[in-house]
Chains A and B, each alone.
Chain A
Amino acid sequence: MRTSADARNGRRRLRSGLPWLAAALAGAIAASAPGATLAAGNGDAYAGKLTYWFWGESDIPGINKWMQQRIAAYEKLHAQVQIDFVPQATDTLIGAFRLAAQSHQGPDIDTQWATLPTLTPYWEKAAVPISDYVPASETAQWVETSENTVDGKIIAVPIYLIGVPLVWNKQLFKRAGLDPDKAPATWSDFLADCAALKAHGITPFGMGNKDGYFGAWMFAIYLTQELDSLGQIESAIGDTGQFSMAQFGGLLRNLYTMMAELMQKGYLNPDVASLDLNQGWQLFPQKKAAMAFTTDGNVLAWGKAIGEANIGVAEPPRWGHGKLADVYDVTQSSDEFITSWAPDKAAAATFLAWLHTPDNLKALYAETGAFPADKRFPASAITDPLPRQLYQLDTAKQSVWLENYLPPQVDNDADLPAGELITSKSGTPDQAVEIWNRVIRKWRLEQVPAFHQYQAWAKSNG
């Protein structure tokens, strides 16, 4: 995941499981016949190919298979439509689409991470709002649409929701003389647990940062905890005046100092800099690391690998001191939008909306354990203890995935390299902050239209 969470709305309302269920009920009544609504707005007349660049396997192991089965089923229902399914890689997801967007060719439907990576193509006229093609009665059923709402339009459709919990291996905790059922809740707890594990020859925390994504996750999880509001990051990047780059840089410095300390104490796997995020994730299920951050989907896969009883899940230990220190990190992570050059946008929209039919949602949960991003999915369907625990984490609190507030270029050229600088021990926290300053300056100069759009968006969020 490079996940995120409820963006602007999240900051205003505290989300809990209860209102969500209530909304689900209301939604189910309001849209009693979603299938009919869909057939009405339909792209059935379209005959031809839809190219779909999809990403999700890294968040939810098994989702590629689910999507391929859905596509096969859809092609059966619409014999004249052929969907060309192209799974994408994490490290080229943004770059490949930006390249395609320059030539206005490539996918008819694309997956990007939520908020800025989705809004930016819309601002650059590479994406069209899906709410122009799908009736409001249907979009009202989708959750977290606020992550991708701009100018009153919904740009993309969410498929699933995931959080990023801390996971720990209870056996390894026991071996280090720690309470296997107690998660480190505070930062000092966390450091103490790491020290105990390390003293017993166990790698405390196993991650991969060759591609920069561990660093990006640390940014998403922990810089949020230093903020008082999302307006602060929007103002710093959009240069709207309330919160300066210098103030933002101060918070970043705290984050990278913390990461450098973890490196220096040897609490991370020594090969963190030479493994990419997905490779680093092999350490936990191989019992080579006692803790990790991962997505809900991977927690379930790892539960199968080492036994659900051996895995503990909890919120990431609290580190920051901002007003947002108590948020969680659930998000739709990725979303699907229609490109501006797709020949038949209605046909693409019909397919995307069809993915939200109850049968498809049920299959998504049954086959991958992912929580569908739809109010029609009943929480009561989640019965196993580990998924229930994850679901409770996901729905208990307000939620933010801060990486989604970065323009893709800033994410790629600052967020990822700055973390790599620390984990490869090739630079100081101050140098990491300097990368941010430089890249944001460069982005403002190079991408003037995108910068102005960001600024306007930041101001409208107030």
Chain B
Amino acid sequence: MARPPRRRRHVPWAYLFIAPAVLALAGTFAYPLIEVVRFSFYSGSLGDLVFVGTANYQGLWEDPVFLTSLLNNLKLLATVPIMTVLALAIALILNAQVAGWRQYRAIVFLPYILPATAIGLVFGYLLEEDGVLNRELRALHLGVLARDWLGSATNVVPTIGSVIIWQQLGFGIVVFAAALLAVPRELVEAARIDGATGWQVQRLILIPQIRRVIEFFMVLEAITILSAIFTYVFVLTKGGPAEASSIIEYYVFENGFENGAIGIASAAVVVLLGLASILIGAYLRLRARAAEAG
């Protein structure tokens, strides 16, 4: 906390100022979170709920579709290190002030702001078995690489992961490039004078200097993968083929709404919250450290 205004005495206006936000947060977050935990012990539909104890949790455990969904979320976490390495490599190139670096930065960031719905629609067509990607591969005599990207159970999760990387990579690049720009030039100059090669400068000076930003990025992306990729799955595959690409969010949607099984959906939410809270804890720790470092 930078500057607590200690001189001020009792300040009732502050309570008035936060009251609307507190109300809004209570309505949007607190109440639903309490309710979702309560629902997870009930079965039946709205207005007709029956207490069933922990049966929903047991049901989850015995439902291979839930386990697949959970596993897919975990598999997709692999996109985080991939994205980090790629973004870092590209940010380092941009940081060398190559010609046109600002333009490149602007271009690679563009996908990040676009709606995942539209992205999903486009990639749905590009990645059909007879879609643009495979046609081009075949035209380039690389037909061996062509495959059914979304239609096959083995390919579908990596494909969704790739679409996510396509959209979010620019975010990492821009974040890293900004952090690199903030590294004091003297540090780099000093290392150069000591005879460090370009690679050594990057490995020994630049990357350690932006370590905190890298950690932040990884935790944020991990949170995204766990809790905010519903749109990709909904638009690209609807969880198919044969539920092979379902994720927890989609499982909640399908059970809670399409099947009207609120209890089991809520139990899945509680499991998700358990996982997310680990990452949220890590995120809060990073924030606190950043605040201390000022």
B interface residues, Cβ below 8 angstroms from A: 43-46, 59, 63-65, 127-131, 148-154, 237-238, 240-244, 254, 257-261, 264
Q: How many positions in chain A have a CB within 8 Å of any CB in the partner chain?
A: 36
- Chain B interface: which of A342-350, A417-425, A452-460? A417-425
Contact assessment for B258 and A211 in the assembled complex, using a CB-CB cutoff below 8 Å? no
Kindly state the separation between the CA atoms of A324 and B257 in the bound complex, as whole angstroms. 36
State the CA gap A426–B151 with chains docked (Å). 10
User: Given A98-B258, A98-B259, A98-B260, is A271 in contact with B242 using a C-beta cutoff of 8 Å?
Assistant: no
A442 at the binding interface (Cβ < 8 Å): yes
CB-nearest residue of chain B relative to A279?
A: B128
Q: Is the CB of B244 within 8 A of A271?
A: no
- Contact check, B243 vs A417: say whether CB atoms are below 8 A apart: yes
Whole-angstrom distance between the alpha carbons of A99 and B258 in the complex? 6
B64 with A438: CB separation less than 8 A = yes
Contact A426 B244 (CB under 8 A): yes
What distance in Å separates the Cβ of A215 from its nearest Cβ neighbour in chain B? 9
Chain B interface mostly helix, strand, loop or mixed? loop
Known: A99-B258, A421-B241, A442-B63. A210 touches B45 (CB 8 A): no
A residues touching B (Cβ–Cβ < 8 Å)?
91, 94-95, 98-99, 101-102, 209-212, 270-275, 409, 412-413, 417-418, 420-421, 423-427, 435, 438, 442, 445-448
Q: A273-B148, A420-B241 are in contact. List 7 more A-B contacts (CB 8 A).
A: A98-B259, A271-B148, A273-B129, A420-B242, A424-B153, A425-B153, A438-B64
CB-contact partner of A275 in B127, B129, B254, under 8 A:
B129
CB of A274 within 8 A of CB of B257, answer: no
29 examples of A-B residue contacts, CB within 8 angstroms: A91-B238, A95-B254, A95-B257, A98-B260, A101-B260, A102-B257, A210-B150, A210-B237, A212-B240, A270-B148, A271-B148, A272-B151, A273-B151, A274-B127, A274-B148, A274-B149, A275-B128, A275-B130, A409-B259, A420-B240, A420-B241, A421-B242, A424-B153, A424-B241, A424-B244, A425-B152, A442-B59, A446-B261, A447-B260
Q: Given contacts A438-B64, A445-B59, is CB(A274)–CB(B151) below 8 Å? A: yes
Q: Tell me which residues across on chain B come within 8 A of A446, comparing CB atoms.
A: 43, 259, 261, 264
Least CB distance, A318 to chain B, in whole angstroms: 28
Chain A nearest CB from B293 CB (Å) reads 48
- Considering the complex of A and B, which 10 residue pairs feature the smallest CB-CB distances, nearest first? A426-B153, A271-B129, A273-B151, A274-B151, A424-B241, A95-B258, A420-B241, A421-B242, A417-B242, A274-B129
